[in-house]
Amino acid sequence: MKPAIWLDGSLCDADSARVSVFDHGLTVGDGVFETVKATEGQPFALTRHLRRLARSAEGLGLPEPDLDEVRRGCEEVLGAHPVPFGRLRITYTGGLSPLGSDRGTAGPTLVVALSEAARRPDATAVITVPWARNERGALTGLKTTSYGENVVALARAREQDATEALFGNTVGALCEGTGTNVFVVLDGELHTPPLSSGCLAGITRALVLEWVGAKETDLPLEALRRAEEVFLTSTTRDVQGVHRVDTRILPGAPGPVTAEALRIFTERAAADIDP
């Protein structure tokens, strides 16, 4: 069966799904999105993801999305193409527009698509990159389709046999990864950068803060060099230990704090599909 795609109100397959070459999401990256973990046809934390989609749309100046319609699209795609473990992608763009930065009047484009995903290993390698997140930018804290910086940084990570790249911000503080939030253990205590660092308000990050507990702390990027443990959080990684940061090896990863965070997260997530 070919993957199902929900485009502006109806299901279609990958061969027939078409978005205009003049769509503002394509021409200037004017759009927002969410990635939702789907397990056996069930989306995880969908309500939280839809709320963030609406916040991102508002921050970008897009019309408020009809979240009931988005939810219908998710249900139809998941029903048409259930997979054991997948990535459900919701994309909401500025729609058909003139070439240039001005938006048109045709209204937004909404796409929901699903693809199978590989389950993450317990630990991975990361690198730091020399480019900074702008904690004062117009898009700070919004999950937009303007992902060029992340593409470049992730390609650098792949060149160094890593699966993620971590950014500092303009003042040299630890911020986030290309698609993850980062937690570090310092002197036995769990810390993560605050939202004021410029990082995205990750759904998994928020759940770890609620279920496991951690201090939101301004940390220098160099904290990665002295942390006893480091782990990443994201929708498809859940809680993933880090066994190497640049050339520094963290033996035994995932460490005890990471392992406990993963245990709690796994148990709580299994008990409530939409926390």
**In the listed set 98, 116, 134, which residue is the last one of a domain according to the structure?**
116
**Same domain (yes/no): 74, 135:** no
Lowest mean pLDDT across 16-20, 152-156, 226-230: 16-20
Question: What's the order of all strands across the beta sheet hosting 10-13?
Answer: 10-13, 4-7, 109-116, 85-93, 31-39, 42-43
Q: How confident is the model at residue 4 (pLDDT cuts 50, 70, 90)?
A: confident
What is the model's pLDDT at position 3? 67
Q: 182-213 pLDDT, tens per residue?
A: 999 999 999 999 999 999 999 999 999 999 99
Q: How confident is the model at residue 58 (pLDDT cuts 50, 70, 90)?
A: very high
**In the listed set 69, 93, 116, which residue is the last one of a domain according to the structure?**
116
**Same domain (yes/no): 136, 267:** yes
Which of 127, 233, 235, 121 is CA-nearest to residue 183? Answer: 233
- DSSP annotation of 20: -
Amino acid letter, residue 275: P
**Same domain (yes/no): 89, 174:** no
What is the model's pLDDT at position 82? 83
Q: How confident is the model at residue 168 (pLDDT cuts 50, 70, 90)?
A: very high
**Same domain (yes/no): 107, 164:** no
- What 3-state class would DSSP assign to 25? helix
- Averaged pLDDT, 232-249: 98
Residue 81 pLDDT greater than 90, yes or no:
no
What is the model's pLDDT at position 237? 97
- DSSP annotation of 96: B
The sign one gets for the Cα dihedral 256, 265, 39, 125 is: negative
Tokens of 159: 């060149």
Number of domains in the chain: 2
- Averaged pLDDT, 50-66: 98
Amino acid letter, residue 74: C
Cis-peptide into 108, omega within 30 deg:
no
Which of 83, 147, 90 is CA-nearest to residue 117? Answer: 83
Are β-strands 189-192 and 215-216 bridged in parallel, bridged antiparallel, or unpaired? parallel
- 110 vs 18 pLDDT, higher one: 110
- Averaged pLDDT, 65-85: 94
Tokens of 59: 């921050």
**Same domain (yes/no): 147, 243:** yes
**Same domain (yes/no): 56, 148:** no
What is the model's pLDDT at position 15? 84
In order of 16, 32, 142, 144, 266, the CA distances from 59 in angstroms are 32, 10, 7, 10, 32
What is the model's pLDDT at position 209? 98
Domain at 50, CATH number: 3.30.470.10
Residue 151 pLDDT greater than 60, yes or no:
yes
Q: 90-137 pLDDT, tens per residue?
A: 999 999 999 999 999 999 999 999 999 999 999 999 999 999 999 999
- Averaged pLDDT, 213-227: 97
Query: What is the reported pTM?
Result: 0.95
Domain at 135, CATH number: 3.20.10.10
Residue 79's domain comprises 4-116
User: What contacts 64, CB < 8 A, 6 or more positions away?
Assistant: 54, 57, 58
**In the listed set 99, 116, 133, which residue is the last one of a domain according to the structure?**
116
Q: Quote the radius of gyration of the chain (alpha carbons, Å).
A: 19
Tokens of 248: 């520094």
**Same domain (yes/no): 60, 140:** no
- Averaged pLDDT, 64-86: 95
**Same domain (yes/no): 142, 211:** yes
**Same domain (yes/no): 163, 252:** yes
Residue 1 pLDDT greater than 60, yes or no:
no
Is the backbone of residue 100 left (phi > 0), alpha (psi -120 to 50) or beta?
Answer: left
| Burial profile 139-150: b = 16 or more Cβ within 10 angstroms, e = fewer | ebbbbbbeeebe
Q: Taking a C-beta distance cutoff of 8 angstroms, is the pair 185, 214 a contact?
A: no
Q: How confident is the model at residue 2 (pLDDT cuts 50, 70, 90)?
A: low
**Same domain (yes/no): 29, 8:** yes
**Same domain (yes/no): 30, 147:** no
Q: How confident is the model at residue 16 (pLDDT cuts 50, 70, 90)?
A: confident
- Averaged pLDDT, 32-53: 97
**Same domain (yes/no): 103, 156:** no
